[in-house]
A and B are shown apart, each in its own frame.
Chain A
Amino acid sequence: MSNKRRWLPEAFRTKRSRLGAAAGTSGDIWGEELPFEDVPSDTLTALHFLADLLPKDVLSKLDFPPIVLKHQLYSLLHNRTTVDQQLESLRKSGKVQVLNLGCAPDTYAVVTTSCYATRVRASSSGQPWDAVAERFLRQVSEHCGDIWLARERLIDLKFSDADVTKLINAGLLTARAVGSWWISIPGLGKFVKLYLKGRKAVLLAIQKSRHHEILESELKNRRLGPGAHLGVPYLLHDIIGADLLRCVNTTSGKILRLVADQHRRSGPCHQNPRFFVAEPSDAFTT
Chain B
Amino acid sequence: MLRLLWARQTGVDDAFRLQRAESTRRVMNLELSKTFVVERRHEHSITTLDLDPVEMRFMISADSEGLISIYHMNRAWDKPFHSPAKSCPAVASISGTNPNNHKFMVQTVQWYPHDTGMFTSSSFDKTLKVWDTNSLQVADIFKFANPVHCHHMSPIATKHCLVAVGTSNCRVQLCDLKSGSSTHTLYGHQKGVLAVRWSTRNEYLLATGSEDNQVRIWDVRKASAFLFSLDQHSHDVSSKPKQRACNTAHNGHVNGLCFTHDGLHLLTSGTDHRLRLWNTATGEHVLVNYGKVRIKRHVNLKFCISSGCSPNVAFVPTDSNISVLDIHSGQLLHELVGHYGIVNCCVYHPLFQEVYSAGSDCNILVWTPDLGRCSEADDAEDGGTKNGCSAFQDTWSCSEDEG
A binds B: yes
Q: How far is the CA of A152 from the CA of B245 in the complex (A)?
A: 11
Which residues of the other chain, B, contact A10 by a CB distance below 8 angstroms? 310
Q: Is B245 a contact partner of A268 (Cβ separation < 8 A)? A: no
Which residues of the other chain, A, contact B251 by a CB distance below 8 angstroms? 105-106
Which residues of the other chain, A, contact B4 by a CB distance below 8 angstroms? 11-12
Which residues of the other chain, B, contact A274 by a CB distance below 8 angstroms? 32
Which residues of the other chain, A, contact B233 by a CB distance below 8 angstroms? 146-148
Which residues of the other chain, A, contact B339 by a CB distance below 8 angstroms? 268
Q: Is B337 a contact partner of A11 (Cβ separation < 8 A)? A: no
Known: A81-B329, A88-B287. A9 touches B25 (CB 8 A): yes
Q: Is A14 a contact partner of B245 (Cβ separation < 8 A)? A: no
- A180 interface residue per 8 A CB criterion: yes
- Measured CB to CB, the nearest residue on chain A to B251 is A105
Shortest distance between the CB of A286 and any CB in chain B (Å): 11
Known: A1-B382, A8-B28. A269 touches B320 (CB 8 A): yes
Q: Which of B24, B246, B319, B363 contacts A180 (CB 8 A)?
A: B246
- Measured CB to CB, the nearest residue on chain A to B23 is A9
Q: How far is the CA of A176 from the CA of B232 in the complex (A)?
A: 15
Kindly identify, within residues 230 to 286 of chain A, every residue whose CB is under 8 Å from any CB belonging to chain B: 243, 268-269, 271-272, 274-275, 277-279, 282
- A25 interface residue per 8 A CB criterion: no
Which residues of the other chain, A, contact B310 by a CB distance below 8 angstroms? 9-11
Interface size of B as a range: 35 or more
Which residues of the other chain, A, contact B243 by a CB distance below 8 angstroms? 150, 152-153
Kindly identify, within residues 346 to 403 of chain B, every residue whose CB is under 8 Å from any CB belonging to chain A: 363, 370-372, 375, 378-379, 382-383
- B222 interface residue per 8 A CB criterion: no
Q: Is A4 a contact partner of B287 (Cβ separation < 8 A)? A: no
- Measured CB to CB, the nearest residue on chain B to A181 is B246
Q: Is B320 a contact partner of A268 (Cβ separation < 8 A)? A: yes
Which residues of the other chain, B, contact A152 by a CB distance below 8 angstroms? 240, 242-243
- A162 interface residue per 8 A CB criterion: no
Among B1, B289, B291, B370: residue with most chain A CB under 10 A: B289
Kindly identify, within residues 313 to 349 of chain B, every residue whose CB is under 8 Å from any CB belonging to chain A: 319-321, 329-330, 333-334, 337-340
Known: A1-B382, A9-B311. A105 touches B24 (CB 8 A): no
Q: Is A12 a contact partner of B40 (Cβ separation < 8 A)? A: no
In the complex, the number of residue pairs spanning A and B with C-beta atoms less than 8 Å apart equals 107
- B21 interface residue per 8 A CB criterion: yes
Q: Which of B21, B32, B291, B340 contacts A9 (CB 8 A)?
A: B21
Q: Is B245 a contact partner of A179 (Cβ separation < 8 A)? A: yes
Which residues of the other chain, B, contact A279 by a CB distance below 8 angstroms? 40
Q: Is B20 a contact partner of A11 (Cβ separation < 8 A)? A: yes
- B73 interface residue per 8 A CB criterion: no
Q: How far is the CA of A79 from the CA of B291 in the complex (A)?
A: 10
- Having A179-B246, A243-B291, one finds 19 other A-B pairs with CB under 8 Å, namely A1-B382, A4-B372, A8-B28, A9-B28, A79-B329, A84-B287, A84-B288, A146-B233, A150-B242, A152-B243, A180-B246, A268-B320, A268-B321, A268-B337, A269-B320, A272-B338, A277-B363, A278-B40, A279-B40
In the assembled complex, 26 residue pairs joining A and B whose CB atoms fall closer than 8 Å, in A order, are: A2-B382, A4-B29, A4-B372, A7-B25, A8-B25, A9-B310, A9-B311, A11-B310, A12-B1, A12-B21, A14-B3, A80-B289, A81-B288, A81-B330, A84-B287, A84-B288, A106-B272, A147-B233, A148-B233, A150-B246, A176-B246, A180-B246, A268-B319, A269-B320, A278-B85, A278-B87
- Residues of B at the A interface (CB closer than 8 Å) are 1, 3-4, 17, 20-21, 24-25, 28-29, 32, 37, 39-40, 85, 87, 233-235, 240, 242-243, 245-246, 251-252, 272, 274, 287-289, 291-292, 309-311, 319-321, 329-330, 333-334, 337-340, 363, 370-372, 375, 378-379, 382-383
